[in-house]
Amino acid sequence: GAGVSQSPSNKVTEKGKDVELRCDPISGHTALYWYRQSLGQGLEFLIYFQGNSAPDKSGLPSDRFSAERTGGSVSTLTIQRTQQEDSAVYLCASSLAGGIRHNSPLHFGNGTRLTVT
Amino acid sequence: AQSVTQLDSQVPVFEEAPVELRCNYSSSVSVYLFWYVQYPNQGLQLLLKYLSGSTLVESINGFEAEFNKSQTSFHLRKPSVHISDTAEYFCAVIESNFGNEKLTFGTGTRLTIIP
């Protein structure tokens, strides 16, 4: 079956512009996660959704970052006024209801590589 | 707060030799532990996990990891590696307190198999 789909796969933008990154989770997965992977860094947690609600937004780096999820499915991560330090691979993952703690592994997309020039 | 340390950023190993990738975690409560693998040009995927029960867990491709609570470690081992094991391996931890879904990853270890 289809896995987690992210678009675009690559995005180059100028400093100061806004960008939107999209994630289509696996059908039926109610839990959705956004992570960021920078060069030489581990995966940095950004935000977690259960359905359309985001019980944990603790990882969003600044108020320039926001995310929403509609219909319990597609999620969009928006970065406003991009900065060069925002350059990274943004990964989306989904899991079944109950999430990680209930024995449901994360299924990752291939990510969006964002380059801010 | 939970955290994970992978001390080795790169590990080169000869084919058919054994390997150990180290992972240490920090947490004030009980945890669940995971190893994820990223093969070249592929997305991250779960390799194995420890949730409860036996402290020794195994994957289908010959890797194993042992949860050691006293040493706060979850090292990944394989007795004989193959070229196809070339990948980046990430250790991850999540605290078991109710409602927590924040999986914290280490910085990864790039395993390179030398023919």
Query: Residue A99: its pLDDT value, please?
Result: 62
For residue A106, which residues of chain B lie inside 8 Å, CB to CB? 36, 44, 46, 103
Lowest mean pLDDT among A4-13, A35-44, B36-45: A35-44
* Chain A interface disruption, residue of B103, B104, B109, B110, most A CBs within 10 A: B103
Query: Residue A26: its pLDDT value, please?
Result: 94
For residue A105, which residues of chain B lie inside 8 Å, CB to CB? 34, 46, 49
Nearest by CB to A100, which of B42, B90, B94?
B94
Q: Alpha carbon A5 to chain centroid distance?
A: 11
| Residue B45 near residue B37 (C-beta atoms within 8 A) | yes
pLDDT of B53 over the 90 cut: no
Our CA-based measurement puts residue B54 at a distance from the nearest CA of chain A, in whole angstroms, of 15
Query: Residue B48: its pLDDT value, please?
Result: 93
The tokens of B80 are what?
Answer: 């004989």
**pLDDT tens track for A45-98:** 999 998 898 888 889 999 999 999 998 899 999 999 999 999 999 999 998 866
Query: Residue B33: its pLDDT value, please?
Result: 93
User: Cα(first)–Cα(last) distance of chain A, in Å?
Assistant: 37
Please, which residues bridge with residue A108 across strands? A93
Alpha-carbon distance of A45 to B76, in angstroms, equals 23
B5 — contact with chain A (CB < 8 Å)?
no
Alpha-carbon distance of A26 to A74, in angstroms, equals 10
By DSSP bridging, strand B73-78 and strand B64-68 are antiparallel
**pLDDT tens track for B72-111:** 999 999 999 999 999 999 999 988 776 777 888 999 999 9
CA dist list (Å): B60 to A1, B7, B16, B46, B78: 21, 25, 17, 11, 12
Query: Residue A58: its pLDDT value, please?
Result: 85
Query: Residue B30: its pLDDT value, please?
Result: 87
Q: Provide φ and ψ at B110, rounded to 5°.
A: -90, 115
**pLDDT tens track for A87-109:** 999 999 998 866 666 567 889 99
The strand ranges marked E within chain B are: 3-5, 10-14, 19-21, 24-26, 31-38, 45-50, 56-58, 64-68, 73-78, 87-95, 104-105, 109-114
Residue of B nearest to A93 (CA): B44
Residue with the larger pLDDT of the pair B36 and A96: B36
Mean pLDDT of chain B: 92
